Amino acid sequence: MLAGVGSLILGLALATALYAAVAALLSLRRNDPRWAESARNGILSVAALLGLAFLLLLAAFLTDRFEIRYVAEHSSRALPFYLKASAVWGGQEGSLLLWSFLQALFAALALTPSPAASGGFPLPLSRRAGEGEGGRGVGVRALAALLLNLITAFFTGVTLFLSNPFAPAATVPADGLGLNPLLRHPGMIFHPPALYLGYVGLAVPFAFAMAALIAGEVENWTRAVRRWTLAAWLFLGLGLLLGARWAYDVLGWGGYWGWDPVENAGLMPWLTATALLHGAAMQEERRGFRIWNLLLISFSFALVLFGTFTTRSGMIQSVHAFARSNLGPYFLTAIGLTLVGSLALILRRRRLLEERRPSESLLSREGLFTLAILLFLVITGSVLVGSVLPTLTEALTGRRFEATPEWFDRVTAPQFAALTLVLALCPVAGRQKLEARRAVPGLVGGAAVAGLAALSGFTRPLSLLGFALVGMALGTALTEIARDVLARSRREGENPLVALAVLVDRNRRRYGGYIVHLGIALLLVGVIGTRMYPLERNLSLTAGEPAQVGRYTLVFEELRQDLFSDRLATWAVLSVYRGDAYWVTLTPRLERYANFDQTVTTPALRAGLREDLYVVLTGWSADGATATFKVFVNPLASFLWLGGLVFLAGGAVAFWPSTAGVRLPVPQARRRAIGNTVALVTGLVVLVAAGVAMWGPGHGATSQPSGRPLPGQVAPDFTLTLLDGSPFSLSDQRGKVVALNFWASWCPPCEEEAPDLQAVWEEYGEKGVTFVGIAYKDEEAAVRDFLSGHGITYPVGLDPTGQVAELYGITGVPETFILDGEGRVVRFYIGPVTADQLRADLAGLGVR
C-alpha cells in the first residue's frame, strides 16, 4: 500500500516535470503568458510531489515499515530516532530520491518567485511580469525552466525506474538489517545532504547559462545566478570538509583525504566551480571571460554527473562505491549530452561570445585570473586522469596502471603551489601590470611563515617552499585589508574595527573572498604539515610498559569492555606523557557489531596547535595484558579544520546579500537589519559549535589530576603513619630499594598478589629492601583483618583520603612501584604483580 502510493507519487512527479518542461517551451513558442503560468505551477507541483515522496519515505523509516525493501535493508527498530531519519539517505535509492527532491526544490526557488521578490534573479519567467525589462530575459527564464525540468525529470525517472526506494520487499522481515555502523555518526547525517545541495545547486547556473546561450543573451547570466553558484560552491566545500572530518574521526586510518575516486568526484566540481566564481567576477566587471565561464559551468555540471556515475555505476574501482551497476549507461549518456550539447552551443554562438579587448599583461589582474582558471582546470584534469587512470592506461598502452595517493600528491602538489603563488600575487596586481613595491608585504609574510615553520622544526626544503608561498598569500591579503581599513579609518575618522566592519558590509564579495583566501592558506598549512611530516607507529604494549612515539610516552594501563544489545565495546586506557610530564589519558575504542560482522574503531584524539596525537586500538591478546595500537602524530592538523571554518565563514560573508547602495523603506530596512543580526548570531553560534565539536572535550581524551612518575623520574615524597604507629617518610629511605604497593582490602586482585608480596618480603626484607603497603581509601579495621588473614608482615599505612595515590596518579588498585636507592622509579605494575617479576626487578637493582 505504502509502496504503491510512493511509486505513484514518483510517477506523478515525473509526468508533471515533463509537462512543465513542455509548458515552458510552449510559453516561448506561442508567446503566451498562460503557458508560462502553467509551467510555473508545474514546477511548484513537482517540488511538492517529490517533497511528499521524501516525507513518505521518512515516515516509513520512522514507523519501521519493513514491507519496503529499502527500509528493511537500511533501518531497524532499535535505531534511535535521528539515525532512522538519516538512514533515509543511507543508501542509493533514498539518496537519489533526496537528490531529485532537492533538484525540484531548487528549480522552484530559482524560477518561480515574482521578479519583484527575486532580488538576485532579475530574469522574469513570464512576459507579463517582466515587460519593463526587455524581451530577451523572458526567453532565458523559460528556457532555463525547460532545462531544469528536464534535469529533474532525469533524476526522478532514474529514481522511479532504476532505483526505486519504494520497491516492496519480497518477504516482510520482523526487523530490518539496521544502518551500517560506520554511518552512525553526526558527520554522516550532514555530509551527504551538503554534497547533494552543492551538486544540485550547480544545475541552476548550468541551466541559466545554457538558456542564456540559446537566447543569445550571453553577458548577464553570471550575475543573475551568482548567489546560486556561490551557494552550490559553499555547500560542496562544506560537504568535502564534513567528509574529511568524518574520515578523521571515525575511520581510524589517521588521515582525512585518501584521493579515492569518490572523494575526487566531490573535489572536481568544487575546483571548476571555484574557477567559475573567479571568471564570473571578471565577467561582471565587464572584462571578458565569457567563453571561460560557459566552459566552466558546463564542465562543473558534467563533473557532477560524473560524480554520480562514479559512485553508482560500479565501473570505477572505489571503496566508496555503491555496488549495483545498472545506472552507469544512463549517466554516461547524460554526461555525453551535457558536454556535446554545451560545446556545440558555445561553438554556434562563438560570434556573440567574441570580445575585442586590449591585450593585457600576464601579471595584470585579468592575466592572473586567467592563469588561476587555467590552473584550476589542469588540476581538475589531473585529478580526473588519476581517477580513471586504469581505464586510460589500458586504452593507451594495454596495461592497467593505478594512481596511488602518492601519485595524486606528487602530480597536484606543484600545481597547487603554482596556484598559491598566483593567489599571493593577485591582490597586488594592478589593472595593467604588477606593482613591485606592493609585493614587499608578501615577501615579508613568506619569510616570516617559512622562518616560523623552520624554527618549529619543519625544515624540509620543499615544505619550507610551501610555507613561504602560503606566507606570501597571507601577507599580501592581510596587508591589502589593513591598507583599506587604515585608509578609511583616517578618512572618516572611524575606529579601525568599525572601519573594517563597514568595509566588509559594503564589499561582501571582495572581503568574503579575502576571508576565503585566508582560510585556504591556513588549510594549506595543515595539508603541508600532515602530508609531509606524517608519523605512524604500530605498537604492541604490555600493561604498565611505557613506549615512546615522537616526544610522547604512552603507558597502556588496561582494557575495559561493555556489552550492549547490538555490540561489544572494548576500550583501552592509555596515559600519555609529553616530555616528562603527564599530559592526557586517551581511550581509543573498538566496537564489534555482531549483527554486521563488522568492527568499528573509534580513535582517541588529542588535538593541539602544533600536532594531533591520534591513537587507534587495533587488537589485544586473549588475557588482555597486551594490546596493539596504531599511533599517528599529525603535525599541524588543527590548521586544516581552522582553515575550513574560516573558509566557510568567508563564503557565508560573500553569500549574504549586501545592503550597500540599496535604499529600502524604513520598516523593510529594519526587518533586513534584524534578519542580518539573526544571521550573524546564528553563523557565530554554528562556528563556535563546530569549534567545540572538533577541539572540545570528547574524542576519547580525558584528564586526570596527575600521572604516574615514569621510570627514571624521582618518585614524589610523602609521609604517612604506619599501622604500628611509627611515621614513614619516603625521603628517609634513600639508599634502599623500595617497593610501594597501593592496594585495598576489598579488591580481589590485591588478595591474589598478597602471598607473592609477602614471600618476596620474607626473602629480601633483611637485605636492605623496604616494602610499604598503602591502603587506598580503606577502613583501618578491614585492613587489619586482611593483614592478619593473609599473614602479611611488611609495613602498611593508610591513605584514607587517597592523597598519596593521587600523587602517584594511580587509576585503580593494585599498583606497585619499584624505586631504586636514589628514589627513582625503576618500574611500575598496573594490576597484580607476581613474585617472579619482583625478584627479577630486585636482582636487576643488584639486591641479592
Partner 1 sequence: MAGKGKFIFAGLLILAAVVYLIVTNTGSTAHYFLTIEELRAMGDRAIGRNLTVSGAVLGDSIVYDPTIPRVTFTIVQVPADPKEVERAGGLAAVLHAAVNDPDAPRLEVVYNNVKPDLLKHESQAIIRGHLGEDGRFYADEVLLKCPTRYQEAVPEQAGGQ
| Footprint of partner 1 on 379-398 (CB under 8 A) | 381-382, 385, 389-390, 393
Q: Is the dihedral of CA 676, 678, 683, 684 positive or negative?
A: positive
Minimum distance of partner 1 from residue 199's CB (angstroms)? 17
Shorter beta-carbon distance to partner 1: residue 181 or 526: 181
Shorter beta-carbon distance to partner 1: residue 135 or 534: 534
Shorter beta-carbon distance to partner 1: residue 132 or 358: 358
Alpha-carbon distances of 58 from 51, 127, 291, 409, rounded to whole Å: 10, 39, 43, 41
| Kind and range of the H or E run holding 605 | strand 604-606
Minimum distance of partner 1 from residue 537's CB (angstroms)? 11
Angle formed at CA 403 by CA 402 and CA 406, multiple of 5 degrees: 140
Mask of contacts with partner 1, 274-313, x by CB under 8 A?
A: ----------------------------------------
Shorter beta-carbon distance to partner 1: residue 650 or 700: 700
Long-range contacts of 311-314 (CB under 8 A, 24+ apart): 311/262, 311/265, 312/92
Q: Which stretch binds partner 1 (CB under 8 A): 219-227, 405-413, 473-481, 639-647?
A: 405-413
Is residue 282 within 8 Å of 366, Cβ to Cβ? yes
Shorter beta-carbon distance to partner 1: residue 24 or 616: 616
Backbone Cα Rg of the chain: 33
Minimum distance of partner 1 from residue 468's CB (angstroms)? 20
Site for partner 1 in 623-652 (CB under 8 A): 626, 628, 630
Q: Is the dihedral of CA 203, 208, 209, 210 positive or negative?
A: positive
Residues with Cβ within 8 Å of 788's Cβ and at least 6 positions away in sequence, in order, are none
Is residue 681 within 8 Å of 543, Cβ to Cβ? no
Among 171, 359, 565, 726, binds partner 1 (CB under 8 A): 359
Site for partner 1 in 649-668 (CB under 8 A): none
Alpha-carbon gap, residue 111 to 120, rounded angstroms: 11
Minimum distance of partner 1 from residue 823's CB (angstroms)? 34
Site for partner 1 in 58-117 (CB under 8 A): 73, 90-92
619: contact with partner 1 by CB under 8 A: yes
The count of other CB atoms within 10 Å of the CB of residue 543 is 18
Is residue 552 within 8 Å of 576, Cβ to Cβ? yes
Alpha-carbon gap, residue 465 to 528, rounded angstroms: 10
State which amino acid sits at residue 33.
P
Alpha-carbon gap, residue 795 to 771, rounded angstroms: 7
Minimum distance of partner 1 from residue 342's CB (angstroms)? 21
Residue reference for cell 610516552: 553
195: contact with partner 1 by CB under 8 A: no
Is residue 27 within 8 Å of 36, Cβ to Cβ? yes
Residues with Cβ within 8 Å of 728's Cβ and at least 6 positions away in sequence, in order, are 719, 720, 721, 722, 772, 795, 797
Site for partner 1 in 154-183 (CB under 8 A): 177, 180, 182-183
Minimum distance of partner 1 from residue 607's CB (angstroms)? 19
Shorter beta-carbon distance to partner 1: residue 386 or 643: 386
731: contact with partner 1 by CB under 8 A: no
Q: Is the dihedral of CA 91, 94, 96, 98 positive or negative?
A: negative
Mask of contacts with partner 1, 236-265, x by CB under 8 A?
A: -----------x---x-xxx--x-x-x---
> At residue 772, what are phi and psi to the nearest 5 degrees?
-135, 125
Shorter beta-carbon distance to partner 1: residue 397 or 726: 397
State which amino acid sits at residue 672.
R
Residues with Cβ within 8 Å of 268's Cβ and at least 6 positions away in sequence, in order, are 303, 306, 307, 380, 383, 384
Minimum distance of partner 1 from residue 551's CB (angstroms)? 21
Shorter beta-carbon distance to partner 1: residue 313 or 745: 313
Minimum distance of partner 1 from residue 328's CB (angstroms)? 9
Shorter beta-carbon distance to partner 1: residue 400 or 490: 400
Minimum distance of partner 1 from residue 694's CB (angstroms)? 20
Shorter beta-carbon distance to partner 1: residue 596 or 656: 596
Alpha-carbon gap, residue 472 to 466, rounded angstroms: 10
Alpha-carbon gap, residue 784 to 273, rounded angstroms: 77
Among 459, 621, 703, 731, binds partner 1 (CB under 8 A): 621
Shorter beta-carbon distance to partner 1: residue 538 or 719: 538
Site for partner 1 in 23-52 (CB under 8 A): none
Site for partner 1 in 418-437 (CB under 8 A): 418
Instruction: Identify which of 358, 379, 128, 366 has the alpha carbon closest to the alpha carbon of residue 271.
Output: 379
The DSSP code for 715 is P
Minimum distance of partner 1 from residue 382's CB (angstroms)? 6
Shorter beta-carbon distance to partner 1: residue 432 or 702: 432
Shorter beta-carbon distance to partner 1: residue 105 or 346: 346
Q: How many CA atoms lie within 13 A of 838 on its CB side?
A: 28
Among 169, 345, 411, 532, binds partner 1 (CB under 8 A): 411
> Binding-site residue total for partner 1 (CB under 8 A)?
73
Minimum distance of partner 1 from residue 345's CB (angstroms)? 23
Shorter beta-carbon distance to partner 1: residue 362 or 669: 362
Pairing relation of β-strands 727-729 and 598-602?
A: unpaired
Minimum distance of partner 1 from residue 156's CB (angstroms)? 20
Minimum distance of partner 1 from residue 378's CB (angstroms)? 5
Mask of contacts with partner 1, 528-567, x by CB under 8 A?
A: ------x-x-x-x---------------------------
315: contact with partner 1 by CB under 8 A: yes
Minimum distance of partner 1 from residue 383's CB (angstroms)? 11
403: contact with partner 1 by CB under 8 A: yes
Shorter beta-carbon distance to partner 1: residue 92 or 103: 92
Site for partner 1 in 598-617 (CB under 8 A): 598-601, 616
Instruction: Identify which of 175, 4, 187 has the alpha carbon closest to the alpha carbon of residue 75.
Output: 175
As given in the structure block, the three cell numbers for residue 84 are: 532512522
Q: Measure CA 357 to chain center.
A: 43
Pairing relation of β-strands 796-799 and 769-776?
A: parallel
State the angle between helix axes of 186-215 and 136-157 in degrees (0 to 180), rounded to the nearest 10: 140
Minimum distance of partner 1 from residue 272's CB (angstroms)? 16
Minimum distance of partner 1 from residue 70's CB (angstroms)? 10
Minimum distance of partner 1 from residue 404's CB (angstroms)? 6
Q: What is the DSSP string of 20-75?
A: HHHHHHHHHHTT-HHHHHHHHHHHHHHHHHHHHHHHHHHHHHHTT-TTBHHHHHH-
Shorter beta-carbon distance to partner 1: residue 321 or 769: 321
User: Do you find a cis peptide bond into 122, omega within 30 degrees of 0?
Assistant: no
Shorter beta-carbon distance to partner 1: residue 600 or 730: 600
Mask of contacts with partner 1, 316-355, x by CB under 8 A?
A: -x-xxxxxxx------------------------------
Q: Which stretch binds partner 1 (CB under 8 A): 9-17, 404-412, 520-528, 676-684?
A: 404-412
State which amino acid sits at residue 122.
P
Alpha-carbon gap, residue 781 to 801, rounded angstroms: 16
Mask of contacts with partner 1, 495-534, x by CB under 8 A?
A: ---------------------------------------x
Is residue 104 within 8 Å of 110, Cβ to Cβ? no
